[in-house]
């Protein structure tokens, strides 16, 4: 196991050294500050793998030998069996009997008289002993499974520590990237203001009119070259009007008929708008062709307001509480030419919005949902509303409280990016006078005309800061379908 130590002034530099030396799969064993520097002990991933599961031919895979050595004691020893006696030797010749002792072999004992011995004496052989102790039990074998589990736990802990360090480092990298993008955007727009001042003028106009910074920058980047500020602004208005979808006439609603449900947050004017549409239907087809349904059983006096409108128009108002009641009511009113449903107003962040959309979708009839957009809301709020009430798709939108809005560029921005079909514009409380068909050219012209004075209040030094935080516009899907041809 080759454990390496790396030291650096910061954790980032130490991790970079580990990555350069051992690769991206290195295992961090420890990370601690030592004497003002950061010390990291790391291990190569190949070494960790070899420790966790040794190769079959390696010594670690072989069984552990029994290293216990039992010393024998004399109590456990017994003499070995005596060797068999040798056959008697023949008498040696006399010449050898009279030979001096020096000529005798070294391995034999000297004898005083060979003639007095019946047989030669047996040589002196040291006794041998054997161990009669019972065999001892072998030591337990090496537990490879326990070692593998310990190594796996150590590796998992090391990986968790490395993942935490990597997560912190990635957050720092993202923060650095954001700062660099902001600085580069500021430099880019500073150069653009000096080289093409007409773009800065058009950008101020769009921001003052209430359009989002992302849509404004997207159109500014697509501006044709060689145009002055006035021509560029006219080009932007033309592009915006071309990308706003409106209803050409009222035949899609009044003549064709069907079931329409007005949805949206609380206080956007759904009940009043429902009464305006009901009055238009009665004026064209009569009260017997129209039916009104309200699901507002929570707000005090909510259904009473619609009942008063229905009484004035001579139209019956039905109140439902849930999906079952709505299904029964729509089944009973299937012979009506037009059915208008006034729904409960709730916040776009309320979980009941999903239940309301499901109730209208699964009611057994083709219910077309019309989203009421409050012209006084901000761009971010309107986008949240559209995402919450989108469901399987919206049939169209109605701009409400236009008379109370300081600017309507925010609503037009949402219509362009969300591809909503604008049916009507409501600009007052009168029924049914304050309900008009949408004219896209008029809406775009009014958006820029009402905030012309506010454009002069945006300084040139503020434009780079507004454009700096937009990031990459190519990742914004809502801008990909904006037609600028």
Residue 382's pLDDT band (cuts 50, 70, 90): very high
C-alpha–C-alpha distance, residues 482 and 485, integer Å: 9
Question: In percent, how much of the chain has pLDDT > 90?
Answer: 12
Whether the pLDDT of residue 461 is over 50: the answer is yes
Superfamily grouping for domain 248-437 = P-loop containing nucleotide triphosphate hydrolases (3.40.50.300)
Higher pLDDT, 334 or 2: 334
The domain ranges of the chain are: 3-52+142-168, 248-437
Which residues touch 97 (CB under 8 Å, ≥6 apart)? 114
Shortest CA distance to 292 belongs to which of 267, 262, 264, 269? Answer: 262
Dihedral of CA 433/437/443/445: which sign? negative
pLDDT tens digits along 234-286: 999 999 999 999 888 887 788 888 899 999 998 888 888 999 999 999 998 88
Residue 477's pLDDT band (cuts 50, 70, 90): low
Average pLDDT, the chain: 77
Residue 103's pLDDT band (cuts 50, 70, 90): very low
Whether the pLDDT of residue 107 is over 50: the answer is no
What's 272-284 look like in SS3? HHHHHHHHHHHHH
What pLDDT is attached to residue 456?
52
Residue owning tokens 């087809």: 285
Tell me, rounded to whole angstroms, the distance of Cα 173 from its chain centroid. Answer: 18
Higher pLDDT, 185 or 334: 334
For the segment 350-377, the average pLDDT, to the nearest whole number, is: 88
Question: In percent, how much of the chain has pLDDT > 70?
Answer: 69
Dihedral of CA 264/265/271/275: which sign? negative
C-alpha–C-alpha distance, residues 96 and 374, integer Å: 142
For the segment 471-476, the average pLDDT, to the nearest whole number, is: 58
What pLDDT is attached to residue 306?
82
Which residues touch 218 (CB under 8 Å, ≥6 apart)? 473, 476, 479, 482
Kindly write down the DSSP assignment for every residue of 176-187, as one continuous string. HHHHHHHHHHHH
SS3 call for 446:
helix
Kindly give the pairing relationship between strand 3-8 and strand 37-43.
Answer: antiparallel
C-alpha–C-alpha distance, residues 394 and 406, integer Å: 26
Helix axes 197-209, 229-243, angle to 10 degrees: 40
- For the entire predicted model, the pTM comes to 0.59
pLDDT tens digits along 285-305: 888 999 999 887 666 566 778
For the segment 196-214, the average pLDDT, to the nearest whole number, is: 83
- Cross-strand partners of 7: 39
Residue 56's pLDDT band (cuts 50, 70, 90): low
C-alpha–C-alpha distance, residues 151 and 114, integer Å: 80
What pLDDT is attached to residue 120?
47
Higher pLDDT, 278 or 306: 278
How far apart, in Å, are the Cα atoms of 57 and each of 63, 65, 149? 12, 16, 21
Whether the pLDDT of residue 372 is over 90: the answer is yes
């Amino acid at each position: 196991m080759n454990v390496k130590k790396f030291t650096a002034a910061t954790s980032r530099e130490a991790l970079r050294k580990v990555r350069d030396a051992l690769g991206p799969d290195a295992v961090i064993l420890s990370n601690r500050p030592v004497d003002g520097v950061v010390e990291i002990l790391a291990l190569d991933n190949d070494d960790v793998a070899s420790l966790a599961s040794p190769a079959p031919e390696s010594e670690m895979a072989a069984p552990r030998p029994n290293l216990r050595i039992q010393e024998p004691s004399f109590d456990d020893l017994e003499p070995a069996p005596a060797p068999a006696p040798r056959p008697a030797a023949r008498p040696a010749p006399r010449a050898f009997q009279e030979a001096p002792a020096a000529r005798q072999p070294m391995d034999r004992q000297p004898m005083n008289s060979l003639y007095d011995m019946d047989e030669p004496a047996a040589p002196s052989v040291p006794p041998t002993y054997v161990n009669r102790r019972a065999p001892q039990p072998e030591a337990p074998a090496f537990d490879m499974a326990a070692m593998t589990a310990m190594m796996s736990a150590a590796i998992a802990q090391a990986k968790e520590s490395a993942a935490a360090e990597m997560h912190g480092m990635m957050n720092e990298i993202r923060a650095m990237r954001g700062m660099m993008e902001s600085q580069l955007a500021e430099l880019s727009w500073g150069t653009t203001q000096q080289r093409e001042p007409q773009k800065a003028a058009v950008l101020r106009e769009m921001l003052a009119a209430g359009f989002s910074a992302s849509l404004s920058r997207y159109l500014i980047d697509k501006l044709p070259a060689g145009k002055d500020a006035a021509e560029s602004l006219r080009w932007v208005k033309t592009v915006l009007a071309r990308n706003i979808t409106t209803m050409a006439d009222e035949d899609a609603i009044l003549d064709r008929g069907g079931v329409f449900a007005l949805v949206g947050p609380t206080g956007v004017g759904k009940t009043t708008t429902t009464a305006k549409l009901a009055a238009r239907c009665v004026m064209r087809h009569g009260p017997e062709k129209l039916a009104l349904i309200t699901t507002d059983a929570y707000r005090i006096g909510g259904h009473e307001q619609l009942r008063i409108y229905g009484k004035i128009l001579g139209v019956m108002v039905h109140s439902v509480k849930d999906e079952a009641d709505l299904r029964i009511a729509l089944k009973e009113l299937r012979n009506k030419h037009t059915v208008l449903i006034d729904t409960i107003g709730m916040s776009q962040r309320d979980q009941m919005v999903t239940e309301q959309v499901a109730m209208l979708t699964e009611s057994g009839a083709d219910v077309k949902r019309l989203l009421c957009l409050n012209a006084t809301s901000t761009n971010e709020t309107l986008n949240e509303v559209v995402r919450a009430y989108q469901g399987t798709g919206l049939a169209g939108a109605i701009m409400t409280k236009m008379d109370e809005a300081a600017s309507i560029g925010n609503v037009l921005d949402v219509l362009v990016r969300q591809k909503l079909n604008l049916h009507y514009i409501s600009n007052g409380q009168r029924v049914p006078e304050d309900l008009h068909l949408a004219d896209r050219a008029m809406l775009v012209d009014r958006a820029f005309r009402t905030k012309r004075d506010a454009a002069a209040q945006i300084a040139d030094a503020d434009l780079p800061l507004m454009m700096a935080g937009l990031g990459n516009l190519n990742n914004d899907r809502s801008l990909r379908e904006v037609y600028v041809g």
